Amino acid sequence: MLGFGKQNINIMKKSFLISILSVIMLSVTFAQPYTLSKNQKYPSGGEVSNCGKVTSSASTMTLTNIAYCNYSHCFKFEEAGGDLSDCYMTKRLKSKVEKLGELVYNEWNGEYRILITEAWDNNKEHSGNSLHYEGRAVDMVVVDAANIRHPEKMGRLGGLAIEAGFEWVWYEKNHIHASVKK
């Protein structure tokens, strides 16, 4: 064995493995959780340039609805007369909301969920070119089981919305606005 003892060979093997692991660890970058700052938009361009213009108003005939309340999300019904319009959205938006709900649930071990305060707007409460009119935008906050809002979680909710695949996310004054392409 060319003068190498069994013990020396084992030491050389261990040293070689440690060297390889060190190189691997240095080459791997661990992504930090993304958090939006208040008033930050992602990506930086405007909503229309990232998601497209509003071309028509939607109706319940062209939209899909989402479960009113489950482990990952709930709706705040603020429309008059029991209007459930906030439960309607495009299929694409619904899939992103459901993905975001899972991310929120996993991020905070089921202690928090999304409260959707606005989705499809059939009452003309937004500006004339709002994606809410096509069911392609959602406004939301983070709440606990008692529906108490947690503003300290909002920046991270924005980051999770990006991770969920929303095409445009904005941390507005007191909520996250997120939208999708057609």
Q: Looking at the domain covering 33-179, what would its CATH class be?
A: alpha beta
Residues counted in the chain = 182
Backbone angles phi, psi at 178, to 5 degrees: -135, 145
Residue among 76, 79, 116 nearest 96 (CA): 116
CB burial string 151-180: b at 16+ within 10 A, e below: eebbbbbbbbbbbbebbbbbbeeebbbbbb
This prediction's pTM: 0.77
CA distances from 145 to 73, 101, 118, 126 (A): 10, 14, 19, 29
pLDDT 10s digit of each residue in the chain, 182 long?
455 566 666 665 565 655 554 544 444 444 668 999 999 999 988 999 999 998 877 665 567 777 667 778 887 766 655 667 677 888 999 999 999 999 999 999 999 999 998 888 877 788 888 999 888 999 999 999 998 999 999 999 999 999 999 999 999 999 999 999 99
